[in-house]
Structure 1
Amino acid sequence: MSNHENPQQDSQTTPFTEDLAASLAGLGVIWAQSNTGVIGKDGGLPWHLPEDMKHFARLTTGHPVIMGRKTWESFPEKYRPLPGRTNIVITRQEGWGGTPAAEGAVAVKSLDDALLESQFAPGHGMVWIIGGGDIFAQSMDLADVAVVTTVDTTTEGDTFAPELGYDWTTGARLPSDGWLTSGDGTRYRITQWRRTKG
């Protein structure tokens, strides 16, 4: 965590995130993206935004999180598994679940298996898909809500956010207009989207 965090920004984000968490149920997707839709580069995030990491933790803690193996491996080892959450990892690698690299993860072979497994986990009234790009793409037709942090940068990357089409509508937003500013001067905003099911 940065030593230059702006407590004023964090004090704004905390009640927003807590109110959002209290209002949500179903299947959610959550990611941070650049202005051009980049969500990853070389297996990691192209920015360091502690305020968004705290927001992510507050929103997902207490609920199952579903991710691909590469997303799992992108977390520093000391943060695996993500604490306070059932970590469900989708992989096609036979036997991966029995390796030291998988310690703390529930390994499954498909998104369908992951969603089934999530229903036996604490906090399953809200399940979060947390990456990467392929898992997001598979999830979009099933998700009820998306929580997207937009980072005001045009950094290059190799993994992109899925598109939120016409069947998604904007819900809560922080701030309601403009941007928040992180402790290192990076501008960002958080938007909740809901999918309108026909």
Structure 2
Amino acid sequence: MLSYIWAEDQNGLIGNHGQLPWHLPTEMKHFTELTTGHTIIMGRKTFQSFPKGPLPNRTNVILTHRPASEFPQGVQVVDQPAMIHELVRDAPDELFFVIGGVSLFEEFADSVDILYQTKIAHLYQGDLYMSALPWHEFALVSQKKVPASSNTPALTFNQFQRI
């Protein structure tokens, strides 16, 4: 199954000059718990935003036109969206997570099955917003609210399933 996972502020902001606009350990823990043991799919710029290279305990797949030799061992490089569709089709019981960037969210919007959205009850500065999704094709199946603390805004973890 193909899924998306992302966090956004109150205005749908998801990035700032190639980085997350926030440092929220609770949100990162949620991301890690959901994606560990699964395949994460990203574009080149998203991969390059990781300071320590491939995320551990996950299969890292990068969709790019750049040659595989530009990337470290331990990542799988594909150059066509059809190759992602093949990976998903060949492992129907596996959960695949598209983690960004925006062009990948746009590319697979018609075939994504599950949306894992974190809403952050705060406004941040940045330059990259989540792409429009066909929300009318999804239903909310779970929601967990985490109240604000002294140094963290309130978070809402939403899971949507394609109807």
| Structure whose residues are more often strand by fraction | 2
* Contact 2:41/2:60 (8 A) holds in 1: yes
Residue 146 of structure 1 corresponds to: 115
Is 2:158 the partner of 1:195? Answer: no
1:64 partner letter: T
Matches within 5 A, 1:36-185: 36-77=11-52, 80-93=53-66, 95=67, 97-99=68-70, 101-117=71-87, 125-164=94-133, 165-175=135-145, 179-182=146-149, 184-185=151-152
* Contact 1:88/1:118 (8 A) holds in 2: no
* Contact 1:133/1:162 (8 A) holds in 2: yes
RMSD after superposition:
2.0
* Contact 1:63/1:124 (8 A) holds in 2: no
Give the superposition deviation at 1:118. 5.3
Corresponding pairs, count: 162
1:111 partner letter: P
Q: Compared with structure 1, are the counterparts of its residues 62 and 183 closer, same or farther at alpha carbon in structure 2 (3 Å cutoff)?
A: farther
Which 4+ stretches in 1 moved above 3 angstroms? 117-121
Give the superposition deviation at 1:141. 0.8
2:121 partner letter: D
Of the structure 1 ranges 56-65 and 124-133, higher mean CA displacement relative to structure 2 is found in 124-133
Cα distance between partner residues in 2 of 1:148 and 1:49: 15
The runs of 5 or more residues in structure 1 that have no matched partner are 1-25
Larger Rg: 1
Cα distance between partner residues in 2 of 1:72 and 1:183: 31
TM-score when normalising by structure 1: 0.75
TM-score when normalising by structure 2: 0.90
Q: Compared with structure 1, are the counterparts of its residues 120 and 75 closer, same or farther at alpha carbon in structure 2 (3 Å cutoff)?
A: farther
1:150 partner letter: K
1:76 partner letter: P
Give the superposition deviation at 1:180. 2.4
Give the superposition deviation at 1:115. 3.3
Aligned to 1:130, the other structure's residue is in SS state strand
- Identical columns (%): 34
Q: Compared with structure 1, are the counterparts of its residues 43 and 110 closer, same or farther at alpha carbon in structure 2 (3 Å cutoff)?
A: same
Deviations 1:131-161 (A, max 9, x none): 0110011111101110000111222322211
